[in-house]
Protein backbone atom coordinates (compact mmCIF):
# COMPACT_ATOMS: atom_id res chain seq x y z
CA UNK A 1 0.00 0.00 0.00
CA UNK A 2 2.89 2.36 0.71
CA UNK A 3 4.46 1.50 -2.65
CA UNK A 4 1.07 2.01 -4.32
CA UNK A 5 0.74 5.40 -2.65
CA UNK A 6 4.19 6.43 -3.86
CA UNK A 7 3.43 5.33 -7.43
CA UNK A 8 0.13 7.18 -7.49
CA UNK A 9 1.63 10.30 -5.97
CA UNK A 10 4.17 10.40 -8.81
CA UNK A 11 1.50 9.90 -11.50
CA UNK A 12 -1.53 11.74 -10.10
CA UNK A 13 -1.24 14.60 -12.60
CA UNK A 14 -1.52 12.22 -15.55
CA UNK A 15 -4.64 10.69 -13.96
CA UNK A 16 -6.09 14.16 -13.34
CA UNK A 17 -5.66 14.92 -17.05
CA UNK A 18 -7.88 11.93 -17.96
CA UNK A 19 -10.71 12.98 -15.65
CA UNK A 20 -13.87 13.69 -17.66
CA UNK A 21 -16.43 11.29 -16.10
CA UNK A 22 -18.73 11.70 -14.24
CA UNK A 23 -17.67 15.37 -14.05
CA UNK A 24 -14.70 16.90 -15.90
CA UNK A 25 -13.19 18.40 -12.76
CA UNK A 26 -9.64 17.10 -13.22
CA UNK A 27 -9.14 15.85 -9.66
CA UNK A 28 -9.44 12.05 -9.74
CA UNK A 29 -5.69 11.43 -9.46
CA UNK A 30 -5.34 14.01 -6.71
CA UNK A 31 -8.31 12.62 -4.78
CA UNK A 32 -7.11 9.02 -5.09
CA UNK A 33 -3.59 10.03 -4.10
CA UNK A 34 -4.78 11.96 -1.04
CA UNK A 35 -6.96 9.01 -0.04
CA UNK A 36 -4.13 6.51 -0.41
CA UNK A 37 -1.64 8.82 1.31
CA UNK A 38 -3.81 8.73 4.43
CA UNK A 39 -3.40 4.94 4.51
CA UNK A 40 0.33 5.08 3.77
CA UNK A 41 0.90 7.44 6.71
CA UNK A 42 -0.91 5.09 9.10
CA UNK A 43 0.80 1.99 7.70
CA UNK A 44 4.26 3.54 8.08
CA UNK A 45 3.67 3.64 11.86
CA UNK A 46 3.02 -0.09 12.20
CA UNK A 47 5.72 -2.42 13.52
CA UNK A 48 5.75 -5.88 11.85
CA UNK A 49 2.00 -6.04 11.22
CA UNK A 50 0.15 -9.10 10.04
CA UNK A 51 -1.77 -8.98 6.76
CA UNK A 52 -4.96 -8.59 8.79
CA UNK A 53 -3.58 -5.67 10.80
CA UNK A 54 -2.27 -4.04 7.63
CA UNK A 55 -5.60 -4.44 5.85
CA UNK A 56 -7.58 -3.15 8.84
CA UNK A 57 -5.32 -0.12 9.29
CA UNK A 58 -5.37 0.69 5.58
CA UNK A 59 -9.14 0.26 5.36
CA UNK A 60 -9.86 2.57 8.28
CA UNK A 61 -7.42 5.22 7.08
CA UNK A 62 -8.74 5.05 3.51
CA UNK A 63 -12.28 5.57 4.73
CA UNK A 64 -11.32 8.51 6.96
CA UNK A 65 -9.15 10.03 4.24
CA UNK A 66 -11.47 9.41 1.27
CA UNK A 67 -11.67 12.35 -1.12
CA UNK A 68 -14.14 12.56 -3.98
CA UNK A 69 -16.04 9.72 -5.64
CA UNK A 70 -12.85 7.94 -6.66
CA UNK A 71 -11.46 8.05 -3.13
CA UNK A 72 -14.68 6.68 -1.68
CA UNK A 73 -14.75 3.83 -4.22
CA UNK A 74 -11.08 3.12 -3.50
CA UNK A 75 -11.81 2.96 0.23
CA UNK A 76 -14.70 0.57 -0.41
CA UNK A 77 -12.56 -1.74 -2.55
CA UNK A 78 -10.02 -2.04 0.24
CA UNK A 79 -12.67 -2.32 2.93
CA UNK A 80 -13.71 -5.53 1.20
CA UNK A 81 -10.07 -6.62 1.14
CA UNK A 82 -9.87 -6.00 4.87
CA UNK A 83 -12.95 -8.04 5.70
CA UNK A 84 -11.69 -10.95 3.61
CA UNK A 85 -8.22 -10.89 5.16
CA UNK A 86 -9.43 -10.65 8.77
CA UNK A 87 -7.44 -12.83 11.14
CA UNK A 88 -4.74 -13.77 8.61
CA UNK A 89 -1.06 -13.41 9.41
CA UNK A 90 -0.08 -13.79 5.75
CA UNK A 91 -1.94 -13.92 2.45
CA UNK A 92 -1.62 -16.53 -0.28
CA UNK A 93 -2.62 -16.06 -3.91
CA UNK A 94 -5.97 -17.68 -3.09
CA UNK A 95 -6.46 -15.26 -0.18
CA UNK A 96 -5.83 -12.30 -2.49
CA UNK A 97 -8.31 -13.67 -5.02
CA UNK A 98 -10.92 -13.82 -2.26
CA UNK A 99 -9.96 -10.35 -1.04
CA UNK A 100 -10.28 -8.84 -4.51
CA UNK A 101 -13.68 -10.47 -4.97
CA UNK A 102 -14.88 -9.14 -1.61
CA UNK A 103 -13.58 -5.67 -2.44
CA UNK A 104 -15.31 -5.56 -5.81
CA UNK A 105 -18.59 -6.76 -4.33
CA UNK A 106 -18.40 -4.17 -1.55
CA UNK A 107 -17.71 -1.35 -4.00
CA UNK A 108 -20.47 -2.33 -6.43
CA UNK A 109 -22.96 -2.75 -3.58
CA UNK A 110 -22.18 0.68 -2.14
CA UNK A 111 -22.46 2.62 -5.40
CA UNK A 112 -26.09 3.53 -6.05
CA UNK A 113 -25.86 3.31 -9.85
CA UNK A 114 -22.65 1.46 -10.81
CA UNK A 115 -21.43 2.57 -14.23
CA UNK A 116 -19.46 0.18 -16.39
CA UNK A 117 -16.35 1.60 -18.00
CA UNK A 118 -15.02 2.96 -14.70
CA UNK A 119 -12.73 1.93 -11.84
CA UNK A 120 -15.43 -0.58 -10.89
CA UNK A 121 -15.13 -2.38 -14.22
CA UNK A 122 -11.33 -2.44 -14.12
CA UNK A 123 -11.32 -3.90 -10.60
CA UNK A 124 -14.08 -6.40 -11.41
CA UNK A 125 -12.46 -7.73 -14.58
CA UNK A 126 -9.08 -8.02 -12.85
CA UNK A 127 -10.75 -9.88 -9.98
CA UNK A 128 -12.65 -12.24 -12.26
CA UNK A 129 -9.58 -13.11 -14.32
CA UNK A 130 -7.55 -13.62 -11.14
CA UNK A 131 -10.21 -16.01 -9.82
CA UNK A 132 -10.18 -17.95 -13.09
CA UNK A 133 -6.39 -18.24 -13.20
CA UNK A 134 -4.28 -21.10 -11.95
CA UNK A 135 -1.55 -18.81 -10.60
CA UNK A 136 0.38 -20.69 -7.95
CA UNK A 137 1.85 -17.71 -6.11
CA UNK A 138 1.21 -14.03 -5.50
CA UNK A 139 3.63 -12.65 -8.14
CA UNK A 140 2.09 -14.86 -10.84
CA UNK A 141 -1.40 -13.90 -9.69
CA UNK A 142 -0.51 -10.23 -9.80
CA UNK A 143 0.70 -10.61 -13.39
CA UNK A 144 -2.81 -11.86 -14.22
CA UNK A 145 -4.38 -8.95 -12.30
CA UNK A 146 -2.22 -6.44 -14.17
CA UNK A 147 -2.88 -7.91 -17.62
CA UNK A 148 -6.63 -8.23 -17.04
CA UNK A 149 -6.89 -4.80 -15.47
CA UNK A 150 -5.02 -3.19 -18.36
CA UNK A 151 -7.26 -4.95 -20.87
CA UNK A 152 -10.34 -3.69 -19.00
CA UNK A 153 -8.90 -0.18 -18.77
CA UNK A 154 -8.18 -0.13 -22.51
CA UNK A 155 -11.82 -1.13 -23.11
CA UNK A 156 -13.34 1.65 -20.96
CA UNK A 157 -13.84 3.99 -23.96
CA UNK A 158 -15.95 1.29 -25.60
CA UNK A 159 -18.20 1.17 -22.53
CA UNK A 160 -18.53 4.90 -21.93
CA UNK A 161 -19.13 6.98 -25.07
CA UNK A 162 -17.97 10.17 -23.32
CA UNK A 163 -14.52 8.59 -22.91
CA UNK A 164 -14.41 7.49 -26.53
CA UNK A 165 -15.39 10.97 -27.71
CA UNK A 166 -12.58 12.51 -25.64
CA UNK A 167 -10.08 9.81 -26.65
CA UNK A 168 -9.20 8.84 -23.08
CA UNK A 169 -9.52 5.90 -20.71
CA UNK A 170 -11.30 6.19 -17.38
CA UNK A 171 -9.30 8.21 -14.85
CA UNK A 172 -10.33 6.08 -11.85
CA UNK A 173 -9.52 2.93 -13.81
CA UNK A 174 -6.08 4.33 -14.60
CA UNK A 175 -5.65 5.22 -10.94
CA UNK A 176 -6.42 1.71 -9.72
CA UNK A 177 -3.99 0.29 -12.28
CA UNK A 178 -1.24 2.54 -10.91
CA UNK A 179 -2.13 1.33 -7.42
CA UNK A 180 -1.99 -2.30 -8.59
CA UNK A 181 1.37 -1.52 -10.25
CA UNK A 182 2.79 -0.23 -6.97
CA UNK A 183 1.52 -3.28 -5.11
CA UNK A 184 2.98 -5.53 -7.80
CA UNK A 185 6.43 -4.00 -7.40
CA UNK A 186 6.45 -5.23 -3.82
CA UNK A 187 4.98 -8.63 -4.71
CA UNK A 188 7.77 -9.08 -7.28
CA UNK A 189 10.44 -8.04 -4.77
DSSP state of 169: -
pLDDT at 58: 97
How large is the average pLDDT for residues 3-9? 96
Cα distance between residue 18 and residue 171, in whole Å: 5
Cβ-proximal residues to 177 (8 Å cutoff; 6+ apart), any chain: 122, 146, 149, 150, 153
Confidence class of residue 20 from pLDDT cuts 50, 70 and 90?
A: confident
Q: Tens of pLDDT along 48-76?
A: 999 999 999 999 999 999 999 999 999 99
Instruction: Determine if the pTM surpasses 0.85.
Output: yes
Confidence class of residue 24 from pLDDT cuts 50, 70 and 90?
A: confident
Considering the chain, what is the average pLDDT of its residues? 95
Q: Let me know: does 173 contact 152? Beta carbons within 8 Å.
A: yes
Amino acid sequence: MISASNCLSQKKQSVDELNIFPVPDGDTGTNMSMTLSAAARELARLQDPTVSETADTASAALLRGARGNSGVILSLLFRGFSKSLAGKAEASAADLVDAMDAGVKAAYKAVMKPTEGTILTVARVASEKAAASDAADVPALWDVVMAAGQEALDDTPNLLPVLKKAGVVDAGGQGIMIIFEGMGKVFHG
